[in-house]
Amino acid sequence: MKKMLSLLIALMASANLFAQEVEMADALRADGKIYVVVAVVCAMLAGLLFYVIRLDRKITRIEKETGDK
């Protein structure tokens, strides 16, 4: 429980660091390029999620074939 509380406090502290205004983000937002950045990040996360799901299915299939659990 103590570790969870420490982790929560650390996450809250790091969130405050990222919440500060960033000049580069303001410039990207003003130029309309922030949507390109968001689209690229979403595409990368979707690709990573697809890879993990596919890998999990392959591992599950191999486990069933060998009889291991």
pLDDT in tens, 22-47: 677 787 778 888 899 999 999 999 99
Residue span of the structural domain in which 63 resides: 22-69
For residues 17 and 11, give the distance between their C-alpha atoms in angstroms, rounded to a whole number.
Answer: 10
In a domain, 53, yes or no: yes
CA distances 42 to 28, 51, 67, Å, are 17, 14, 37
**Within-domain flag for 7:** no
Alpha-carbon distance of 46 to 61, in angstroms, equals 23
Whether residue 50 lies inside any domain: the answer is yes
pLDDT category at 18 given cuts 50, 70, 90 is low
pTM of the predicted model over 0.75? no
Assigned domain for 64 exists: yes
Tens digits of per-residue pLDDT, 47-69? 999 999 999 999 999 999 998 65
